[in-house]
Amino acid sequence: MNQPKEKTKYKILVVDDEKKVLIVARKILMSAGYDVEVCLSPEEAAEIVANRGPVAVLFADDRMPGMRGTELLEQVKRVSPSTVRVLTTAYYDQQLIEDIVNKGEAFRFVKKPIDFNKVLKIIRECVEQYEVNRKSQGLHDSIKSLTQNNQVLKQETEDLSQKISKLRKKITMVTMAAILILGAAAAFNYYGEFQRQEILKETSITLGDWIVYDNDTALDSANRLMWMTQDFRIIERRYPASWEEARDWVQLMNAKRFGGYRDWRVPTIEEYKQTFDPDRTRLAFDQNKDYPVGYPKAFQEGGGYGFWAMDEVGENSAKYFFFAGGYDKTAPKDYNSPTMSVRLVRTVK
């Protein structure tokens, strides 16, 4: 069973150099349920706010020995921004009131002699404003804390970047030393491959999760798979006569080091599915707009509709992925159709 929430008892501080004002204030405000403190000097009031708070509402007389009430309000504003400040005065100077209100020093003015029965209504308004101020100050403190944490993280990031930069330099030096040890021939091959990869990066195009290179390959960065952007039909200008020919095409492409690689393979059905674009904005070899295909934008148009996969079904059948529909089908391995093709893939570590 939930316990009833305890009602907040707000602290009201009244400072005035007239004792009778303080006596009446304490009696009326305490009977209204407030936690009341009174004092005769603004110096003591400042100490109470700073060390014995929180003070929800401060009532301060404007003219007191040693310090004006306006000066006290100014101090309290700096020390306790949430405290709602009320100035009491027997000398109603309109210009003074406007100046103080414009600077945000006082929330309300009460003319003396004080009618504390009317003041109770003002206090209720002040308490509401105090809650607004307190929540606003809490939000401000949170933002300040987040900003400070962000600055710390930024500094740590900069320090880490410097360490990484130094580490890269060391790695480069070690790499260069290794190149020298490997010998002139090995060093030449290594440097050539390094340069080739750097050129590929500089000339690449990013399309969402895809990175398209100018060597007719594209990387699916989400699944770490590199694909040929051209398929069998585009490269050979014909279709594979069977599943076996599509499978054997791997050896030919690896021997030619297509794109600079020799670890190409026939994809699985699941890998084909990962590339399928359900928007189907591309066209196959016959450019038939009635049957668009779901190639990703990284692939070239003009390929097949069905793509052989490495998945076998029994001894005589295999699966292929139908890019015009976005699903897989099974056919005999000797299935000879002009709609068929194959596109090779390699795993990127």
Task: State whether 228 and 132 are in the same domain.
Answer: no
Does residue 20 share a domain with residue 133?
A: yes
Nearest-angstrom CA–CA distance, 182 and 185: 8
In a domain? residue 179:
no
Mean of the per-residue pLDDT values of the chain: 86
Segment 105-133 mean pLDDT:
85
Give the residue with greater pLDDT, 91 vs 226: 226
- Separation between Cα atoms, residue 42 and residue 50, nearest integer Å: 12
Q: Poorest-confidence range of 72-76, 98-102, 149-153, 310-314?
A: 98-102
Residue 296 preceded by cis peptide, ω within 30: no
The tokens for 202 are 């500089």
Residue 226 has a pLDDT of: 96
- Give the pLDDT of residue 135: 84
Instruction: State yes or no: pLDDT of 258 exceeds 90.
Output: yes
How, if at all, do strands 225-228 and 217-220 pair?
antiparallel
Shared-domain flag, residues 216 and 120 = no
Each residue of 173-198: pLDDT tens digit?
776 665 566 554 444 444 555 565 66
Q: Helix 116-182 and helix 184-202: axis angle, to 10°?
A: 150
Residue 154 inside a domain? The answer is no
Q: Residue 104 carries which DSSP code?
A: T
Give the torsion sign (CA, 116, 121, 127, 133). Answer: negative
95 and 210 in one domain? no
Looking up residue 223, the CATH number of its domain turns out to be 3.10.100
Residue 337: inside a domain, yes or no? yes
| pLDDT, average across residues 210-231 | 95
Whether residue 213 sits in one domain with residue 132: no
Compute the 3-state secondary structure of the chain and give helix, strand, coil in percent, each to the nearest 5.
45, 20, 35
Write out the residue range of the structural domain in which residue 79 sits: 11-140
Residue 75: which CATH number? 3.40.50.2300
Least confident window among 106-115, 136-145, 265-274? 136-145
The percent of residues above 70 in pLDDT, for the chain, comes to 85
SS3 (DSSP) at 285: coil
Q: Which residue, 100, 120, 140, sits at the end of a domain?
A: 140
More confident residue, 77 or 7: 77
Same domain, 228 and 339: yes
- Letter for the amino acid at 98? E
Please state the domain count of the chain.
2
136-140, 152-156, 222-226, 237-241: segment of lowest average pLDDT? 136-140
- Kindly state whether residues 50 and 127 are assigned to the same domain: yes
Tokens read off for 331 = 């056919």
Compare 163 and 138 and report the one with higher pLDDT.
Answer: 163
100-109, 174-183, 298-307, 326-335: which has the minimum mean pLDDT?
A: 174-183
Cα distances (Å, whole numbers) of residue 336 to 238, 243, 318: 12, 9, 13
Please give the radius of gyration of the chain, using alpha carbons only, rounded to the nearest integer: 40
Statement: residue 149 has pLDDT above 80: no
Same domain, 133 and 222: no
Domain boundary among 88, 108, 140: 140
* Any domain includes 95: yes
Show Cβ contacts of residue 6 under 8 Å, excluding neighbours closer than 6 positions.
none
- Out of 120, 140, 160, a domain closes at 140
As a whole number, mean pLDDT of residues 235-241 equals 96
Residue 287 falls inside a structural domain = yes
Give ∠ CA 110-119-136 in degrees, rounded to 5: 85
Q: Same domain, yes or no, for 226 and 328? A: yes
Weakest mean pLDDT among 48-57, 61-70, 239-248, 291-300: 61-70
**SS3 of 205, please?**
strand
Report if residue 54 sits inside a domain: yes
Nearest of 199, 196, 195, 225 to residue 210 by alpha carbon: 225
Residues 218 and 313 in one domain: yes
Q: What is the DSSP letter of 240?
A: -
Give residue for tokens 């890269």. Answer: 168
User: Quick check: 325 pLDDT over 90?
Assistant: yes
The pair of structure tokens assigned to 100 is 């103080």
326 CA to centre of own chain: 33
The single-letter code of the amino acid at 290 is D
Is the pLDDT at 47 greater than 80? The verdict is yes
pLDDT value at position 181?
Answer: 62
Whether residue 129 sits in one domain with residue 217: no
Is residue 162 in a domain? no
Asked whether residue 75 is domain-assigned, the answer is yes
336 in the same domain as 212: yes
**Higher confidence at residue 120 or residue 98?**
120
